Amino acid sequence: MEYEVVIGIETHVQLKTQSKMWCGCANAFGAEPNTQVCPVCLGLPGVLPVANEEALRLTTLTGLLLNCTIARYAKFDRKNYFYPDAPKNYQITQYDKPSTFKGFLDFEFQGGIARVNITRAHLEEDVGKNFHFDRSSGVDFNRAGVPLLEIVSEPEITSADMAHEYLNALKEVLTYGGISDCDMEKGMVRCDVNVSVRPKGQTALGAKIEIKNMNSFSGARRALEYEIPRQIEVVSKGGKLSQETRRWNDEAGITETMRSKEQAHDYRYFPEPDLMPFAPDDDWIASVQRRVVELPLARKQRFMRDFDLPAADAQAFVWDVPLGNYFERAAQQTKSPKTVANWVINNLRARLTETQTTLENLKFPPESLVDLTGLIESGKISTKIAQDVFIEMFNSGEPPSAIVEKSGLSQVSDVDALGKFCDEAIASNPKSVGDYRAGKVAALNALKGQVMKLTKGKANPNLVGEILENKLKN
Ligand SMILES: [Zn+2]
């Protein structure tokens, strides 16, 4: 029997705000333990939370970026549980009235575009971090109360690879939108995966198994690559799976039972009495709407369509937004955007990295690259000379035409002048001449190289070839 896999993913993302969700403590990674805490985020008695407006904005912005409906009435709830990392013994979250819901994310997958629907994206707070020592344990509450967004996908993902691509695409959107820095090593993005299997064609879902403790997207993929065959094996042997939570053991490369359905928490959700419901009006949503940016996939498709770029080039401009913007300004002024893209990717990007220069400090405008490629296309300079001109314009900021003019780098296209160099090359390379006349066509390249050397690379190589051929025929 054939089986199919159903996967849903819950992604937790720390929002990029200056301060925490309910207090003014800094939202910053890496400080000494328990130095970014106050009575509010330590859950001391008698304190009141005050919502961080930027976190509310970023939540709405995420909703807009993920094509969600923005709730005009959202509220906060208490999720009750006792665990050392939760100082209040409850977490403030959004239960039945989330800020945004019913959206979707499109992403590239297996040569096409896949869509995964988003159930909801709701706002909550992060908890502290437990540390275990030889004979004791400690908790760092610096992270407690950091605004956290939970993005829940519909169970529509059908493979480990698709889950991996979904997570990457989601991360790209969140980074692009300025929602989060999504630094996985700093724990800014975490995910839990729900996975079940069922015989192909069956509509009812199989037993839902949740996998936790994956600290990278590749970890999530590996966990699924282990868990899916495990479930299929149990079911295909006539066994029965029951709903449970499993832990991914990254070192061993296996999932292990954490708790069964019977041990599942009852969180006793109830409305947070210390916070007003959140009911954004048109103006407020419009102010967030102005922060919506073009998403990576849309940008890639636009660059491929408008500038006729291959996917790899367009992708390079998706990964490096400022570089892409720079290219775009140049591309709008040329008929050969692909040539300009080559210069931006192969020369400009490499040079910026080598010299540790940022685009803001770049000395020449995009127009100079258009100028440079124009000089090559019109045959004024060779591609080789263009490399030297590029270095010069990178260093001085001078327009390429001026550099060519000033230093006499203009390509020699004068047949008489080139003819003399060709004669010289023929006279001093009797062996190559003999080879060529004996039918070894490749010998012409040696002579051509000689002329390029004599002219210090300034000769028009195609013209040199023609002249040499004519001379050797006679
Ligand atoms: Zn605080």
pLDDT tens for 266-297 read: 899 999 999 999 999 999 999 999 999 999 99
Tokens of 395: 């260093």
pLDDT of residue 104: 98
Residue 15 sits at φ, ψ, to 5 deg, of -80, 150
* Greater pLDDT, 410 or 15: 15
How many A from CA of 38 to the centre of ligand 1? 4
Would you state the pLDDT for residue 17? 97
Res 409 pLDDT > 70: no
pLDDT at position 416 = 73
CA 336 to centroid of ligand 1, rounded, Å: 55
CA torsion through residues 303, 306, 309, 310, sign: positive
CA–centroid distance, 145 to ligand 1, in Å, is: 7
22-34: pLDDT as tens digits: 999 999 999 999 9
Q: Give the residue from 288, 373, 405, 343 showing the smallest Cα distance to 54.
A: 288
pLDDT one-digit tens code per residue, 342-385: 999 999 999 999 999 999 999 999 999 999 999 888 878 888 88
Ligand 1 center–CA 11 separation, angstroms = 24
pLDDT at 138: 96
Rounded distance from Cα 39 to ligand 1 centre (Å): 6
Per-residue pLDDT of 133-158, as tens digits, reads 999 999 999 999 999 999 999 999 99
Angstrom distance (rounded) from CA 256 to CA 45: 38
Sheet holding 69-70, edge to edge: 69-70, 100-109, 112-125, 147-153, 3-14, 189-199, 209-214, 244-249, 254-260
- Average pLDDT of the chain is 93
Q: How close is the Cα of 79 to the center of ligand 1, in Å?
A: 19
Give the distance (Å) from ligand 1 centre to CA of residue 276: 19
Dist. CA 141 → ligand 1 center (Å): 9
pLDDT at residue 408 tops 80: no
Model confidence over 183-214: pLDDT tens digits? 999 999 999 999 999 999 898 989 999 999 88
Between the CA of 25 and the centroid of ligand 1 the distance, in Å, is 4
**Residue 126 pLDDT grade (very low, low, confident, very high; cuts 50, 70, 90):** very high
pLDDT of residue 73: 98
2/5 Cα distance (integer angstroms): 10
In whole angstroms, what is the distance from residue 170 CA to residue 118 CA?
11
Residue 413, pLDDT > 70, answer no
Any idea what the Cα angle at residue 459 is, between residues 455 and 463, rounded to 5°?
140
Instruction: Give residue 443 CA to ligand 1 midpoint distance, Å.
Output: 77
CA of 21 relative to ligand 1 center, distance in Å? 9
Across the range 104-125, mean pLDDT stands at 97
CA 132, distance to chain mean position in Å, is 34
User: How many H helices and E strands in the chain?
Assistant: 16, 14
SS3 content of the chain, % helix, strand, coil (to 5): 45, 20, 35
Cβ within 8 Å of residue 469, ≥6 positions away = 444
How far are the Cα atoms of 212, 234, 247, 437 from residue 241, in angstroms, in the given order? 18, 7, 16, 80
410 has a pLDDT exceeding 70: no
CA 308/CA 336 separation, integer angstroms: 9
pLDDT for the residue numbered 278 = 96
Domains of the chain (ranges, CATH numbers): 3-289 (no CATH), 296-407 (no CATH), 415-473 (1.10.10.410)
Find the mean pLDDT for residues 401-430. Answer: 80
Predicted pLDDT at 411: 63
pTM for the whole thing? 0.81
pLDDT digits (tens, 9 = 90+) for 216-235: 999 999 999 999 999 999 99
CA of 33 to the centre of ligand 1 (A): 13
Q: What does the alpha-carbon distance between residue 384 and residue 372 come to, in Å, rounded to a whole number?
A: 12
Residue 412: the pLDDT is 66
